[in-house]
Amino acid sequence: MNINIKIQNIFLNMGKRIRTQRKGKSNSVFKAHQNQRVGSPQYRHLDYAERHGYVRGVISEIIHDPGRGAPLAKVEFNDPYKYKKQTKLFIAPEGAYTGQYIYCGAKAQLATGNVLPIGSIPEGTVVCNLEEHPGDKGALGRATGCYATIIGHSDDGAQTRVRLPSGTRKTLSSLCRATVGLISGGGRTEKPILKAGRQFHKYRRLRKVWPRVRGVAMNPVDHPHGGGNQQHIGHPSTLSRYAPPGQKVGLVAARRSGLLRGGAQLKQMDEDLAAQQAKKCIFYLLLYNIRNLQMHYSHFNEKQVIIKIKNK
């Protein structure tokens, strides 16, 4: 009997499971609702018609997909092999409208909304919804306002270099498809929320924790940083990478903590050093040109010109 009482007391004195533990448990509270999604936007299956010609479709409707910022375009294609229609969902590019014809294939015209292999798209063209591998139906540059830029093609035409929305450069197969233009809905995240109610509905659809309560504002039973007469952590916020799950909050395995002191001064020193090196380069370049002039013109006075440059 005494053993049972002791076990009960131990469980009563234990803290609650913290927020990160509950999120990592794949609880349905934190899972986004996907039963109301319209569908997954994908390109057509890469067939003979697209590899050697083109297929024409028409945008029948532009619809909103809950949980996605960019609108979707419902495109109807005539099946090239059967007497029926195919309906596909594309991420709508900027400027798309209902009734617009969409051409997909290697011989499609270079126009906004058309889908072409990136190997046949000129350098400097803005594209979106790129395939990472030929036939994967779109993987890169799919968020609102995103686009990638064609940088160049290899000599044999097998590979194409693109600059992604993050700024990184990636080499892809020239057979990968992309939509000409950029994804619609650009600047969506720059619109001010203004009301807590809009923020509530935004995070309610994404099923994220909002409002997010600080750990120091909680009770000690709810969080390792909770408790105390003042809101303070009470111990160093850095902790080991191998800490147990209920304790693993704060600066996990931090190499350093605190503000960067003297950062502005170091930046100014780097800028001054770069300017000094640039001046040196200009001086030696001018000196080289002066000596070339002296070779052609005997009356050219090198010393006077160098003194004037140094004074400037």
Lookup: tokens for 207: 């099923």
What is the CATH architecture of 48-180? Answer: Roll (2.30)
**Whose structure tokens read 């913290």?**
18
Q: How many separate helices (H) and strands (E) can be counted in the chain?
A: 6, 12
- Domains of the chain: which residue ranges? 1-31+207-252, 48-180, 283-312
Determine the Cα–Cα distance for residues 132 and 177; give it in Å rounded to an integer: 9
Going by the DSSP 8-state scheme, the letter that residue 17 receives in this structure is P
Classify domain 1-31+207-252 at the CATH topology level.
Answer: Ribosomal protein L2; domain 3 (4.10.950)
Q: What are phi and psi of 34, to 5 degrees?
A: -115, 5
Reading the chain (312 residues) residue by residue, the pLDDT tens digits are: 555 655 554 444 568 999 989 888 777 788 888 888 899 999 999 999 999 999 999 999 999 998 889 999 999 999 888 889 999 999 999 999 999 999 999 999 999 999 999 999 999 999 999 999 999 999 999 999 999 999 999 999 999 999 999 999 999 999 999 999 999 999 998 999 999 999 998 888 888 889 999 999 999 999 999 999 999 999 999 999 999 999 999 999 998 888 767 666 667 777 777 888 787 777 777 766 666 655 555 555 555 555 555 555
